[in-house]
Amino acid sequence: MQTRAIDRPPARPVDQPVGPPVARQIDIGIDGMTCAACAARIEKALAKLPGVGAANVNLATETARVSGDSGLSETAIADAIVRTGYGVRQPQVRTPSTDPATSADTITVDREIALLIGGAILTLPLLLPMLTPLLPATVADALTVPLWLQVGLATVLQIGLGALFYRGAWKALRSFSSNMDVLVALGTSAAYGLSLYLALPALSGDAQHAAHLHLYFESAAVILVLVRLGKWLERRAKKRALSALDALKALRPETARVRRQGQEADVPLALLRIGDIVIVRPADRLPADGKVVAGQSAVDQSLLTGESLPVDVAPGDRVIGGALNGNGLLEIEVSALGAQSMLDRIQQMIADAQGAKAPIQKLVDRISARFVPAVLVIAFLALIGWLMAGAGIEIAILNAVAVLVIACPCALGLATPTAIMVGTGTGAKAGILIRDAIALETAQHVDRVAFDKTGTLTDGKPQVTRLVTADGVSEAEALRLAAGLQRGSSHPLAEAVLHLAAERAIAPADAASDEALPGRGIAASIDQRRYLLGNGRLMQEHGLDVATLSGAAGATRSYLATLDPQPRLLAALDFADGLRPSARPAMADLQQLGLTSLLLTGDNARAAEGIAGDLEITEWRADLLPGDKIAAIEAERKAGRHIAMVGDGINDAPALAAADLGIAMANGTDAAVATAGIVLMRSDLRLVPAAIDLARATGRKIKQNLLWAFLFNALGIPLAAFGLLNPMIAGLAMALSSVFVVSNALSLRRWLATMRVNYAHDR
């Protein structure tokens, strides 16, 4: 097996947003949206504001994200939303669990339930006339509802339940647009108005007219009840879709027990400071990220990382705020608070992903913006068509009402964002953080996965397994020089050298004028002589033949050389780095998903071949600088492959950015995590195939939802226009269509149970 020669084209530039540079980003909650047309109208209004580069309104999360230049004003954004006819609020995803908005939401829900129950009770008498033909005459007479009562009940319902739709319709029409409220308001008003027109002669005393009276008050009332019921069920389902965020917000305790100046006291979490020592008692939640300074325990951080088993911690170990302490007493030094804490960063990543808009949603938005006007035209044509056919005004209006009622674009607007909300929330519970909708959509199309080696496929804790010296050089002297060159470095190979020197009680040499050589090694001066420590490439650059010192098969090798008085090879060090236990199962899972794997490493060919052979990876490339990894990924993309890159180090960040999809290990460097589209919250490589599997499952749900929404309207509107759909049935179908879309998205949560079965044995 040989490495393949790689051209080095320039790195793929990062796409820049169109419009003003993004210097500021503002998230704001919106009240009063009812369908995709509402979201499209707000987006259009926000996009016209000065300095706005992009505006994204998410119907499912009921939030707007606006980005643009530094002059972007939250007040201006809020004013634009209000002028469009909607309310503004701070989005719930940004507020702590103690936010008073929670109680306000409860009041709103209770009020809506009361309205629904009251509306259903008042609607029942209006339905009785439909039953009387089926009952004995004496029973039918007893159940007859006086006409004046029917009119009164229908009027109360039209004003009480219909007020929401009238307000929404007025706001839309005032801004020369249309939405679901327009359809419902027009449809129910037409049925109510027609019935009132027919009932007026009878109310004025025309007994003959009253005997042959057929009214449609029940149609308008039932439509109002069903549509509001559907919206309530939809909101309830959307709240369940946001359960991942709710669960995370509940992890943060309100107070922390702090020791200051020898005294312990409970203080509000907002008063904690970096460096404080917090006391965490058994069964308490950790209030902040930090380092254990005293005590031993096992902490459960499953809601943060998806790890199913508690993790043992002792002095020196890092812990995450929000984790649940076990039976031991811990003293923790606080190292991160607020937005810098892991809990806040996870919440922010989930909120960003759930608020983002998938590329496919742009097509849906364009369709939704034209949908309501098209429905109004179809309803008008149905009305005229039935009148021309001689069906009479009653039949014509009822069929037009059915068209208006069934054509609500709610299902279309919710199809994509609800699936994204549930998919990203479910992934977070499994330890997979998906940064945005683009990463989610890209992951669906990945057909090859490239892996870094050290710290990704391996556990990142190499040990020196062999030290070979040149003639006249002792092992002790070689180790003293190597340790001196590596002193102060946090690289895993450096730590292995320093650990061996400490074991042998060898003091590192004093090195000066250190010079890092990225992807190759390090140079420094010791005792007025220049030394090098690095890979074979660095030695070759200085004309040194590394073949004079043989190495172990499958090992990573570093060479020690001096440049004074002339270049000379002094020693070679072999390092062995164990595979992660999850590496082999992960490769098998990727193969089962139909994906191929590729190893890209800066290590030497011998080490790369050994790891690739152990994992049955058929293609590998070694001795790669960061630019070489980019070139390798570009070559894969030019060959028509959709490639994901998995890495953890600073040197992996460019490759993560160049790949179609970057996947970073959360224990990796900040640069790698910041660049990746997906972050794995624990060092379990089986989360790589799991993330791709989840993305595919989410993609299927999006397609199912969109297919349902399009078919529902494509079939329902013609049926209603041709008189084959009763307005009440149309109202029920419309309400249930949105509920179906959200419920179908919620079924993604079953993927988590499947994942726990399929991926549990490696934890």
Q: Mean pLDDT, consecutive 10-residue segments, the chain of 763 residues?
A: 31 35 74 76 87 81 82 85 81 37 49 84 79 58 75 90 85 73 80 82 64 69 77 66 61 85 86 90 88 88 63 85 86 85 72 61 66 85 91 85 76 76 83 82 91 83 87 92 87 86 92 82 90 90 84 74 91 85 91 92 81 89 83 90 85 82 77 77 89 91 86 85 81 74 84 65 44
The fold for domain 463-576 equals: Calcium-transporting ATPase, cytoplasmic domain N (3.40.1110)
Nearest CA to 176 out of 35, 31, 44, 30 is that of 44
Cα 571 to Cα 104, 158, 313, 508: the distances in Å are 71, 90, 39, 16
Contact 255, 268 (CB under 8 A): yes
Contact 401, 187 (CB under 8 A): yes
CA distance 72 to 25: 8
CB atoms under 10 Å from CB of 205, counted, come to: 8
Both tokens of 671, joined, read 């640069």
pLDDT recorded at residue 597: 93
CA distance 83 to 111: 26
Helix, strand and coil content of the chain, in percent to the nearest 5, comes to 55, 20, 30
Question: Considering 181, 289, 344, 452, which one is annotated as catalytic?
Answer: 452
pLDDT recorded at residue 292: 92
The amino acid at residue 549 is: L
Task: Please give the class, per CATH, of domain 24-89.
Answer: alpha beta
CA distance 17 to 54: 8
Torsion of the alpha carbons at 256, 240, 431 and 310, rounded to the nearest 10: 50
CA distance 48 to 43: 9
Contact 528, 538 (CB under 8 A): no
Its sign, for the CA torsion 669, 672, 676, 682, is: negative
Q: What is the pTM of this model?
A: 0.64
Cα 121 to Cα 82, 216, 225, 455, 730: the distances in Å are 35, 17, 10, 65, 21
Element (H or E) spanning 719, and its range? helix 687-721
CA distance 203 to 194: 14
CB atoms under 10 Å from CB of 376, counted, come to: 18
**7 classed as catalytic:** no
Burial zone of 437 (CB within 10 Å; 0-12 exposed, 13-18 middle, 19+ buried): buried
Torsion of the alpha carbons at 87, 89, 91 and 96, rounded to the nearest 10: -160
| Region(s) of the chain under CATH 3.40.1110.10 | 463-576
**Domain 254-344 belongs in CATH node 2.70.150.10:** yes
| Region(s) of the chain under CATH 2.70.150.10 | 254-344
Strands lying side by side in the sheet with 263-268: 263-268, 255-260, 277-280, 330-336, 289-294, 318-319
Contacting residues for 323 by C-beta, under 8 A, at least 6 apart: 251, 285, 286, 299, 300, 301, 304
Contact 631, 435 (CB under 8 A): no
| Region(s) of the chain under CATH 3.30.70.100 | 24-89
CA distance 571 to 632: 32
Contacting residues for 37 by C-beta, under 8 A, at least 6 apart: 172, 177, 178, 179, 180, 368, 369, 371, 372, 409, 413
CA distance 241 to 425: 7
Q: Could you tell me how many residues make up the chain?
A: 763
| Region(s) of the chain under CATH 3.40.50.1000 | 432-459+579-681
**Which CATH number describes the domain made up of 432-459+579-681?**
3.40.50.1000
Cα Rg for the chain, rounded, in angstroms?
Answer: 34
